Amino acid sequence: MSAPDSEAMEAVTDFLRKCNPSADSVDWDCDLIDARILDSLTFVEFLLLMEEFSGGPIDLGTTDVANFRTLNRISAFLTKAGTHEQP
Amino acid sequence: MEDSDFGSMLARLSEKSRNEYYNPYTKFSWPDSVSEDAWWMNPEYLTVHGTGLVEDERTLKALARYETVNFFSLHVHGIRELMIEVAKRIHTPDFADYNEYLHHFIGEENAHMWFFAEFCYRYTGGIYPEAASPLRREGHGDLWDDVVVFSRILIFEEIFDYFNSRMGKDQLIPDILREIHAAHHHDESRHVAFGKQLVKRLHQRACAADPERRDEIEKYIKDYMTYSVRSLYNPQAFRDAGVDKPLEVRRKAMQHPVREAFHVRVMARVDRFFVASGIFGTPWGEGHVSA
């Protein structure tokens, strides 16, 4: 896993590491769901973390789950939400 | 437990269910209103208890109301899943031995679902929606899925019974709430006794057929325990109670050492069961919820 570039991405990587220690070695383009780092149980908590750092509720009716499948996409999502600088 | 002992237990539980049957629709005297000045939940059971994160009594009393709604909403959603899964299995060959008791089980759970929802609709704006995951639940093969389903039910029942058994005797909370907690605790003791024996048998059956998945299932059940404890901390309840920075307060509360110790106490009984029955190689323990 590359070095986190912000408090938000640091929190994301810390969360993923606790879900599955193999998160430490994943590429930023790795699909976190296919790699079973995020699953149906942990995704609920992960979305709340995303809401906290993006500053508002995330409606999955209008926000594609694909935004959260890789670290690069998560970083882009948080950048768009204005919470941190993209690497 | 031998087959004959399990059969005797099922017969005994069915008899108790018949003898202790009550009409849920007439059991309670519903008051016209429940005072918002009262503690709807003893502050000791609030998710921020012991953390110092919320100290204003008015906010804490509001949180007691909304966490009661969350608690009852979790019952409603949990019971719906439970009834769906049990209904899928009753009168199928693999569950034929349990048919009679499963009828009582479904009937009693249906009653519980009604009175938890009824309280929320009578005195508040209704129940909170389920925090559903957009990802499809993982499958583990039919035999292991049976273990997972009934383990989820057992965890759900044990968590809620921790609170029901205590709040069912708590003179601080309004009578109607104490009566609801007490009624649920009374019935759940039978369901937990049945659930433990059933999960053990289903686990032995799955291990014999497909032992390779054993570790995967242990991890899944432990993750479900973590998920269940986190569900007590509903961010919408924090928002509705007027807690400032609700998501941040929620996260800090879950991570607080006092809460970590509380999570272990809530889970202690079911954790001990999973270890003693060989379903867990190591206890769920602590440090999961704060991730």
Return the SS3 of B62: helix
Tell me the one-letter amino acid at B199. V
At A1, is the pLDDT very low, low, confident or very high (cuts 50, 70, 90)?
A: very low
Query: Would you say residue A86 has pLDDT above 80?
Result: no
Ordered structural domains, chain A, with CATH: 14-80 (1.10.1200.10)
Class of domain B3-22+36-41+51-129+137-215: mainly alpha
Rounded to whole angstroms, what are the CA distances from B137 to B23, B133, B224?
35, 8, 12
**With a cut of 0.90, is the ipTM above it?**
no
- Chain A CB within 8 Å of residue B140 CB: no
pLDDT value of residue B287: 67
**Mean pLDDT confidence for B245-260:** 95
Top residue of B133, B213, B233, B247 to mutate, by most chain A CBs within 10 Å, is B133
Structure-token pair, residue A27? 């590429």
Query: Would you say residue B104 has pLDDT above 50?
Result: yes
With CA atoms as reference, the chain B residue closest to A36 would be B138
Subunit contact B133:A19, Cβ cutoff 8 A: no
**Mean pLDDT confidence for B93-105:** 92
Query: Would you say residue B100 has pLDDT above 90?
Result: yes
Percent of the residues in chain B that have a pLDDT greater than 90, as a whole number: 87
At A3, is the pLDDT very low, low, confident or very high (cuts 50, 70, 90)?
A: very low
Q: B104 to chain A nearest CA, in Å?
A: 30
Q: Which of B150, B238, B162, B235 is nearest to B200 (CA)?
A: B150
**Mean pLDDT confidence for A16-36:** 88
**Mean pLDDT confidence for B202-207:** 96
Query: Would you say residue B288 has pLDDT above 90?
Result: no
pLDDT value of residue B111: 96
**Residue pair B284/B278 in contact by the 8 Å Cβ criterion:** no
Give residue-wise pLDDT tens across range B135-185.
877 888 899 999 999 999 999 999 999 999 999 999 999 999 999 999 999
Q: Which one of A15, A19, A44 has the shortest CB-CB distance to B131?
A: A44
Query: Would you say residue B289 has pLDDT above 90?
Result: no
B156: number of Cβ within 10 Å:
22
Subunit contact A41:B136, Cβ cutoff 8 A: no
* Every domain of chain B and the residues it spans: 3-22+36-41+51-129+137-215
pLDDT value of residue A5: 55
Q: Which one of B134, B226, B251 has the shortest CB-CB distance to A43?
A: B134
Give residue-wise pLDDT tens across range B74-83.
999 999 988 9
Mean pLDDT of chain B: 94
pLDDT value of residue B3: 74
At A83, is the pLDDT very low, low, confident or very high (cuts 50, 70, 90)?
A: low
Dihedrals phi, psi of B36, to nearest 5 degrees: -80, -10
**Mean pLDDT confidence for B188-194:** 91
Report how far residue B269's alpha carbon sits from residue B68's, in angstroms, rounded to the nearest whole number: 23
Q: Which one of B136, B247, B251 has the shortest CB-CB distance to A40?
A: B136
Lowest mean pLDDT among A53-57, A63-67, B132-136: B132-136
Residues with Cβ < 8 Å from B172, sequence gap 6 or more?
Answer: B39, B42
pLDDT value of residue A26: 85
Angle at which helices B99-123 and B175-209 cross, to 10°: 140
Return the SS3 of A59: coil
Give residue-wise pLDDT tens across range B33-51.
999 999 999 999 999 999 9
At A87, is the pLDDT very low, low, confident or very high (cuts 50, 70, 90)?
A: very low
Query: Would you say residue A4 has pLDDT above 80?
Result: no
Return the SS3 of B53: coil
Subunit contact B247:A52, Cβ cutoff 8 A: yes
A66: number of Cβ within 10 Å:
11
Query: Would you say residue B113 has pLDDT above 80?
Result: yes
Q: A86 to chain B nearest CA, in Å?
A: 23
**Residue pair B213/B140 in contact by the 8 Å Cβ criterion:** yes
pLDDT value of residue B135: 80
